[in-house]
Amino acid sequence: MKWILKPSPEIPGELQSVSLNPITLQLLVQRGFFSKVDIQKFLNSSYDDLHSPDGLAGVKEAVDRLAKAIKKKEKVAIYGDYDADGITSTVLLKEVLEKVGLSAETYIPDRNKEGYGLNEKALDMIKADYGADLLITVDCGISNKDEIEYARKKGMGVIVIDHHSIPKALPQNCILINPKLPGQEYPFKDLAGVGVVFKFAQALWKKIIPEKEAHLKWFLDLVAIGTVADCVPLIDENRIFAKFGLIVLQKTKRLGIQEIIKTARLNIDEKNPPSVENIGYQIGPRFNAAGRMDHADLTLNLLTGKDPVKARILALELESMNSARQKITQQVLGEIKSTLEPGKDYRLIIRKGAHWPMGILGVVAGKIADEYYCPVFILRENKDLIEGSGRSIEAFDLISAVSRLDDLVEKYGGHSQAMGLKIKPENLPKFEKRLEKLIKDVYNEEAWGKAIHVDAEIATEKIDWDLFSETRKLEPFGEGNREPVFLSHNLLVREMNLVGNGQKHIKFSFSLDKDKKIIEGIFFKGAEIFSQMKKGETISAVYNLKSNKWNGSQKLELNIIDIHNKQYG
């Protein structure tokens, strides 16, 4: 794979006296921090650094509307999405409203039967069964102009709390809260849905129960999970949500989350804090599993339940669903990859199947996009409608492109790199052809080619605990604030062995310098190049620095991303 070393930036004069490792300083400048104030604010961000919610358009009107609902004792319904962001948004808003004296019913649609967003049958049920006077959508709604008009005709007031891209035609006669709205003065536009709900909660509590406003931070376990799981950039407020949400998650009193941690066998306790990776790879996928395989109400009930026995049962059921989801994902992934040529330079991949479950299409599309590094649509075909998920790469704004093809599609929505799509079968060939043309017009081989972007080149003698400790100051890592990737040459291979289940990984022991300083490295899924390596040779590697704790001891280790030697690379 191609390695691209980022240019070493010029360090501004005022930063040359900053007491940081030069590599850490380089990383900060590369990420856009050019002053002491900016660096201090980033490294030492606090809960109090969150922006005032008053600047978010629609918030004041929504708070006033809720105050009216409290006074009139109106019935409220929350309509959420079925993914981790939508579920955490729903639970957060329900509990926040309860604290100000409003009991709210919740509704999450069935992914397979109803699809994403509002639908008229659900609105009929919400009005008939819940008697809702006020409908609040979370993590959805901004693209539901017609459905919101239908809700208004049924006598429901509507507040939309969303974060998705803005459609050409906005809903009318309702209150809209979305940091991406045109003319928006709010300073940060990349909040997850649950982040937008939290901003509304801040404003609501400030007006209704200001004496308890500080207690909102105990909801940050939900906010962190929804934020990380939705893959929004971990910068600005999202970084604060993740940073302090991980602290709350470590101490969470929510029985459902405690049981998920147990069933996932995560080592999280007072001495072992959770990580962004724990949310992204273990907790988040389990939150999503119910909505992908059956109905998201299972996760919702798990998070809101107070009975420890029921929580254990639901967590085990969720664990089983997640295992089933993983199995089906691999089956569909294998089926699709059998139609693709290994190593071919694809610029767009669209595949459809009649039997593929809706719930795993986004996951599969993401995996294909990562491997083939191009925009991907994985769709389920029915007689009258084809629907599914699209995923893209950083270099191509998928939803912006599809918005130029909206004469061909029935419905779409999402983000620049993740979206949902509904299209009639007869329009799919035209859609594919025109999308290919849009891609051709902007295609750039350098930007689109799959590559590893390296933050800094490190001499082997500089690989030490000081460098590791300094780079940890940039945590939490995630989208928009990636874990630093380093490059080192002249790593002398002393030992190497295949390890792990199926012997898929290579375990290395390297000499770093003339004093024979030793460091270990692990190259996950690197077994295919094992035969091309030999002891005594020197290699170049790109890697993350990791601290490996085992049996009470701790050692520095290279988490190898790729290797070059004379035979390979």
CATH topology of domain 53-246: inorganic pyrophosphatase (n-terminal core) (3.90.1640)
Domain residue spans of the chain? 2-6+452-564, 53-246, 252-335, 343-448
Mean of the pLDDT values across residues 303-319? Answer: 96
Please provide the average confidence, as pLDDT, over all residues in the chain.
93
Per-residue confidence (pLDDT) for residue 567, from 0 to 100: 60
The region of weakest confidence among 188-202, 237-251, 545-559 is: 545-559
Residue 22 has pLDDT above 70, yes or no: yes
- pLDDT score recorded for residue 514: 63
**Phi/psi at 259 (5° precision):** -70, -35
What is d(CA 82, CA 85) in angstroms, rounded to the nearest whole number? 8
Is pLDDT of 193 > 70? yes
Q: Read out DSSP for 63-94?
A: HHHHHHHHHHT--EEEE--SSHHHHHHHHHHH
pLDDT in tens, 60-102: 999 999 999 999 999 999 999 999 999 999 999 999 999 999 9
User: What topology does CATH give the domain 343-448?
Assistant: Diaminopimelate Epimerase; Chain A, domain 1 (3.10.310)
For residue 249, pLDDT beyond 90: yes
Choice among 3-7, 16-20, 156-160, 550-554 with the minimum mean pLDDT: 550-554
Percent of the residues in the chain that have a pLDDT greater than 90, as a whole number: 81
Q: 552's torsion region: left (phi>0), alpha (psi -120 to 50) or beta?
A: left
- Cα distance between residue 354 and residue 382, in whole Å: 6
- Give the C-alpha distances (Å, rounded to integers) separating 102 from 93, 132, 196: 10, 12, 19
Strand order in the sheet with 376-381: 349-353, 376-381, 386-391, 418-423, 409-414
pLDDT attached to residue 495:
93
Q: For the segment 118-160, what is each residue's pLDDT rounded down to a tens digit?
A: 999 999 999 999 999 999 999 999 999 999 999 999 999 999 9
Amino acid (1-letter code) at residue 210: P
**Segment 547-566, tens digit of pLDDT:** 987 777 789 999 999 999 87
pLDDT at 487: 96
Local confidence band at 342 (pLDDT 50, 70, 90 cut-offs): confident
Is the peptide bond preceding residue 476 cis, with omega within 30 degrees of 0? Answer: yes
**Strand, helix or coil for residue 431:** helix
Q: What value does the mean pLDDT take over residues 489-512?
A: 92
pLDDT in tens, 363-378: 999 999 999 999 999 9
In the predicted structure, residue 481 carries a pLDDT above the cut 80 = yes
Classify domain 2-6+452-564 by CATH number.
2.40.50.460
Position 568 scores a pLDDT of 62
* Average pLDDT of span 232-261: 96
Q: Please answer whether residues 507 and 567 qualify as being in contact, where contact means their C-beta atoms are separated by less than 8 angstroms.
A: no
Which uninterrupted H or E stretch holds 177?
Answer: strand 175-177
Average pLDDT over residues 305-312: 96
Q: What percent of the chain has pLDDT over 70?
A: 99
Q: How far apart are the first and last CA of the chain?
A: 7
> What pLDDT score was predicted for residue 543?
97
For residue 388, pLDDT beyond 70: yes
Query: Residue 421, SS3?
Result: strand
pLDDT for residue 512:
83
pLDDT of 515 above 70: no
Lowest mean pLDDT among 299-308, 320-329, 474-483: 474-483
68 Cβ contact list (under 8 Å, min separation 6): 74
Is pLDDT at 257 greater than 90 in this prediction?
yes
pLDDT at residue 314 is higher than 80? yes
